[in-house]
A and B are shown apart, each in its own frame.
Chain A
Amino acid sequence: MEEVLISAIEHWSYCERQCALIHVEGTFEENVFTIRGAIAHERVHSGEITVEHGVRVVRGLPIWSDRLGIHGVADVVELRPEGPYPVEHKVGPTGRHAALQLCAQALCLEEMFGQAVPRGALYSHGTRRRVEVVFDAALRAETEAAIAAIRAMIEEGRLPPAPNDRRCRHCAQRDVCLPAATGEPARLRALQRELFTLPPDEG
């Protein structure tokens, strides 16, 4: 079974092509947003174990699920008495895409610790707030479906088409993706016709 990186889930949820460029094509371009994320994670992924309010907190914990064939690193896991509680740090939005990634972490932690992981949190660097996420049946099913879809894409070496919409504006993979070319076949066809047509003579 092809291993899937947990971080691929958020990429896939945001844009299937972005996910394929990173995880099928093996490209990774950086821009100001990815660098901000990397800097934020440098602090989180220090690997240290601390005790906060009587709870052991592990930063940068390697996690995996043999059942799902996924692995990655969790930003923060609080080892609470009732079970592990993952906290994912986000520089960008803490919406559905991030929730899927967090849920995948929960599935790993359940397998690793043999304990139920019903909840976790997304921490936003922008607002400095935590948003709690409940891992209900629907989110779990969606997460497992995403993992299966990513695996299929990697195994086939498939590259979905560019959406060429507002998502592309701040995407770091834009220069590799070339949405203005790959996402506009009609315009490219017109350009192709012009290649063999003479411009109105300037001579």
Chain B
Amino acid sequence: MRSLRMIAMGMLFHIKHVSRSPFDIAVFVVVPVVQATLAVYLFRASAEPQKLLQAAVGAGMMGVWSSVLFGAGGAISSQRWQGTLEMLMLAPRRPVMIFLPITLAQGAIGSYALLATLVWGRVLYGIRLDFARPWAFLVTAPVTVLSLGAFGILLASAFVLMRHANALQNALEYPVWLLSGMLLPISSLPAWTGPVAAALPTTWGARAMREATAGGPVWPSLGWCVAISALCLVLGAISLVHVERRARAAATLALA
């Protein structure tokens, strides 16, 4: 119970923290809408304009991934720049318990992208929100978003090992959009990308959302998304302990 309370309070604190940043607010508010508009015009120009709802959901998922990648993935870097990383690491809890609320909060913030693209599509482009399985969508969306937040812990721990995490962040946005089939089916990609895509929780999350939108077996996909994200969470927790010990031993916590 104490852990759950800590996660909830940590999420709330981080969301409040981000809400004070004009940069974060502007980017998180505007960019998903631009992506949704882009997706709408691309699909309108195509021979399959009937898939506009799937395009809007896909664009929303792209926004969730961007939020997780740049927010959750860069959480440790951000703490370092703000000079608060050492204090966080001094806290008498496991590192994963310190950073999980931050990455979950970024996932939750990313859910705005999903909501915004749907509202934008409905209001401006008249896209009918005819979900094949609306109740499944209402369950799938938050579970997927939180799963990706948990996946963010692995990113965060990986990025702390690298001095130039921002370069990796910039390089990772589009490949995951592409490999996860957020805007177009994975079947249109070369066959060798299949195993890579299957290992990403984003692929299964996007698939579950698509199945809830257009019809299909939602729960197996959602189950895979949660399972792979949980595995990433465990690996991230182990990695964070390793990183913390290494940084303490080398006295490079603020420099690593």
Partners in one complex: no
Q: Which residues of A contact B (CB under 8 A)?
A: none
